[in-house]
């Protein structure tokens, strides 16, 4: 007997998934055992790029999650509500869930996974992070014997596209963002992408899997790319770096068992494996013992890529349903219940790049050096690089320092009569 799917959403991801499921020849034979039973949409009048009988499509999504015939609900509608309620209702009705919804999982994962585990059901989410890149299943399975210490990702395609074009063409942020929207990479409201929030949702999910503890989204520090200027990109280039929006989760926080989970634009050394990930591509570098480093690279968004990930989750569930074993496979579930402790960003130890505009007076560099020294901030380099009108431009790169100390030094510097402004502060990998 076939496995019946109820698909919630027939947009980019839903359409790609239906098209893939309907094109089974040459792919895994289990695909032939899947029946697209109901598909839920908002607007029944919209033209669709799929070949489905009209009676399969409905605007009544509750009727899908309550349909006793359906085995698996595929939630590809996005948003928080009603996606959350529909997934919970599906689980309460004994259905497994596949979702691409990082926003809902990063916020309501605890509730959704608790409900699933109590019912002995699976919630699969390969498409939620990295689009078509397999990274969720590798963290649950192939890498699960490792002690992972750091996950570092470029996991937002829109911002990587913007930064890549700013770097290669010398264009400004606002111009490239407008192009990204015109080309359909960025959302009409690009806030979640540009302000680092989408990457924050995704790194919370990866951190939870890598370190086996739940993550409170409000503990994830997120800083976006709006402030990255062409001047900083040029300095990065001169100093041997590229600027990337990195999402980082690490347990290497000095002398504590806390994690650091954060998203921010970062000076990445040109020789680092993530420095060459350009355009809308994503990559995730996982570091642990004994594996060392392993990097996943590929398309982070788009219909085909995301459909590949969604359908691989569906196949895993079809295989589980066919195996007929009552006990859930621990390599497919997310069972951790405790919350990880997250260190505040002020505890981060990192190198920093900062750019200052100051009056062109003698002794200014000395005053900056004194302020840094007052707060235990040791400098790798400090140079006056040129002029902005009447103002001198001074660029500083620090050694590893505690962020709290660095911020205190900046506050003291800001109060100096000779200092006009501090237009840029970026962390250095």
Task: Enumerate the active-site residues.
Answer: 202
Check binding of 42 to ligand NAP (CB under 6 A): yes
The answer to the question of residue 126 lying near ligand HSE (CB under 6 A) is no
Q: Binding marks (x or -) toward ligand HSE, 157..176, rule CB under 6 A?
A: xx------------------
Q: Return the residue of 36, 41, 199, 425 that touches ligand NAP, per CB under 6 A.
A: 41
Quick one: which segment of 35-43, 156-164, 369-377, 406-414 binds ligand HSE (CB under 6 A)?
156-164
Is 78 a binding residue for ligand HSE by CB under 6 A? The answer is: no
* CA distance linking residue 102 with residue 72, whole number of Å: 19
Least CB distance from residue 302 to ligand HSE, whole Å?
Answer: 8
Backbone angles phi, psi at 47, to 5 degrees: -65, 140
The single residue among 109, 131, 132, 224 that binds ligand HSE, judged by CB under 6 A, is 131
CA-CA-CA-CA torsion sign (77, 81, 85, 91): positive
Q: 43 or 362: whose CB is closer to ligand NAP?
A: 43
302 contributes a contact to ligand NAP by CB under 6 A: yes
Contact 333, 368 (CB under 8 A): no
Q: Which does 394 bind (CB under 5 to 8 A by kind): ligand NAP, ligand HSE, none?
A: none
77 binds ligand NAP (CB under 6 A): yes
Q: Which of ligand HSE, ligand NAP, none has residue 156 at its interface (CB below 5 to 8 Å by kind)?
A: ligand HSE
List binders of ligand HSE among 186-225 (CB under 6 A).
Answer: 193, 198
Assign 203 to helix, strand or coil.
helix
Q: Is 394 in the site for ligand HSE (CB under 6 A)?
A: no
265 binds, among ligand NAP, ligand HSE, none (CB under 5 to 8 A by kind): none
Strand ranges inside 170-315, DSSP E:
221-222, 241-250, 260-269, 281-289, 292-299
Among 87, 139, 300, 394, binds ligand HSE (CB under 6 A): 300
| H-type alpha helices, 279-330 | 303-323
Closer of 57 and 239 to ligand NAP (Cβ): 57
Task: Name the minimum Å distance from CB 177 to ligand NAP.
Answer: 18
Q: What H or E segment, with its residue span, contains residue 20?
A: helix 12-21
158 is in the binding site of which of ligand HSE, ligand NAP, none (Cβ under 5 to 8 A by kind)?
A: ligand HSE
Binds ligand NAP (CB under 6 A): choice among 20, 34, 124, 131: 131
Are the C-beta atoms of 329 and 395 separated by less than 8 Å? no
C-alpha dihedral sign at 247, 250, 252, 253: positive
The answer to whether residue 180 forms part of the interface with ligand NAP (CB under 6 A) is no
Q: Which does 42 bind (CB under 5 to 8 A by kind): ligand HSE, ligand NAP, none?
A: ligand NAP
**Rounded distance, CA 23 to CA 193, Å?**
32
C-beta atoms surrounding 371 within 10 Å:
20
Indicate the Cα dihedral angle 222, 126, 71, 22, nearest 10°.
120
Residues 1-30 that bind ligand NAP (CB under 6 A): 9-14
Answer with the entry of ligand HSE, ligand NAP, none that 76 interacts with (C-beta below 5 to 8 A by kind). Answer: ligand NAP
Which option in ligand HSE, ligand NAP, none does residue 335 bind, with CB closer than 5 to 8 A by kind? Answer: none
Please choose, from the candidates 402, 401, 394, 397, the residue with its C-alpha nearest in 3D space to the C-alpha of residue 422. 394
Nearest distance, CB of residue 309 and ligand HSE, angstroms: 11
Residues 6+ apart with CB under 8 A from 342: 215, 216, 219, 220, 258, 259, 260, 261
- Helix, strand, or coil here: 24? coil
Question: How many residues are present in the chain?
Answer: 429
DSSP class of residue 334 equals -
Q: Which long-range contacts (CB under 8 A, 24 or more apart) does 77-82 make?
A: 77/8, 77/9, 77/11, 77/14, 77/40, 77/101, 78/9, 78/11, 78/103, 79/103, 79/104, 80/104, 80/107, 80/108
Binding site for ligand NAP (CB under 6 A): 9-14, 40-43, 46, 61, 76-79, 82, 100-102, 127, 131, 301-302, 306
Catalog residues that contact ligand HSE under the rule CB under 6 A. Answer: 131, 156-158, 193, 198, 300-301
């Amino acid at each position: 007997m076939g496995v019946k799917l109820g698909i919630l959403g027939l947009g980019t991801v839903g359409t790609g998934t239906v098209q893939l499921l309907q094109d089974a020849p040459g792919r895994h034979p289990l695909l032939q055992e899947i029946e697209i039973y109901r598909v839920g949409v908002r607007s029944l009048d919209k033209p669709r790029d799929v070949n489905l009988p009209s009676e399969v499509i409905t605007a009544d999504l509750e009727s899908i999650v309550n349909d006793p015939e359906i085995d698996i609900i595929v939630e590809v509608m996005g948003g928080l509500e009603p996606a959350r309620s529909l997934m919970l209702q599906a689980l309460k009705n004994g259905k497994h869930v596949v979702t691409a919804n990082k926003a809902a999982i990063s916020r309501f994962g605890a509730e959704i996974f608790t409900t699933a585990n109590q019912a002995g059901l699976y919630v699969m989410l390969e498409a939620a992070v990295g689009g078509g890149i397999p990274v969720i299943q590798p963290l649950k399975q192939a890498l699960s014997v490792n002690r992972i210490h750091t996950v570092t990702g470029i996991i937002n395609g829109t911002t990587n596209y913007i930064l890549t074009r700013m770097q290669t063409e010398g264009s400004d942020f606002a111009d490239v963002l407008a192009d990204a929207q015109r080309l359909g990479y960025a959302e009409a409201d690009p806030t979640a992408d540009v302000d680092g929030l989408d990457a924050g949702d995704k790194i919370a999910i990866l951190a939870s899997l890598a370190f086996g503890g739940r993550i409170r989204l409000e503990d994830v520090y997120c800083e976006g790319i709006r402030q990255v200027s062409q001047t900083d990109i040029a300095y990065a280039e001169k100093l041997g770096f590229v600027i990337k929006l990195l999402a980082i989760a690490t347990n290497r926080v000095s002398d504590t068992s806390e994690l650091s989970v954060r998203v921010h634009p970062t000076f990445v050394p040109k020789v680092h494996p993530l420095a060459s990930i350009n355009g809308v591509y994503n990559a995730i570098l996982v570091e642990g013992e004994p594996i060392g480093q392993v990097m996943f690279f590929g398309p982070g968004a788009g219909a085909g890529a995301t459909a590949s990930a969604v359908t691989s989750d569906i196949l895993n569930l079809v295989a589980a349903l066919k195996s007929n074993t009552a006990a859930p496979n621990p390599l497919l579930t997310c069972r951790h219940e405790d919350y990880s402790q997250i260190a505040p960003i002020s505890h981060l130890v990192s190198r920093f790049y900062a750019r200052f505009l100051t009056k062109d007076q003698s002794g200014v560099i000395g005053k900056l050096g004194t302020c840094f020294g007052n707060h235990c901030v040791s400098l790798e380099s400090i140079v006056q690089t040129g002029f902005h009108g009447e103002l001198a431009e001074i660029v500083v790169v620090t050694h590893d320092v505690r962020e709290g100390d660095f911020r205190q030094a900046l506050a003291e510097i800001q109060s100096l009569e000779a200092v006009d402004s501090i237009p840029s502060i970026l962390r250095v990998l």
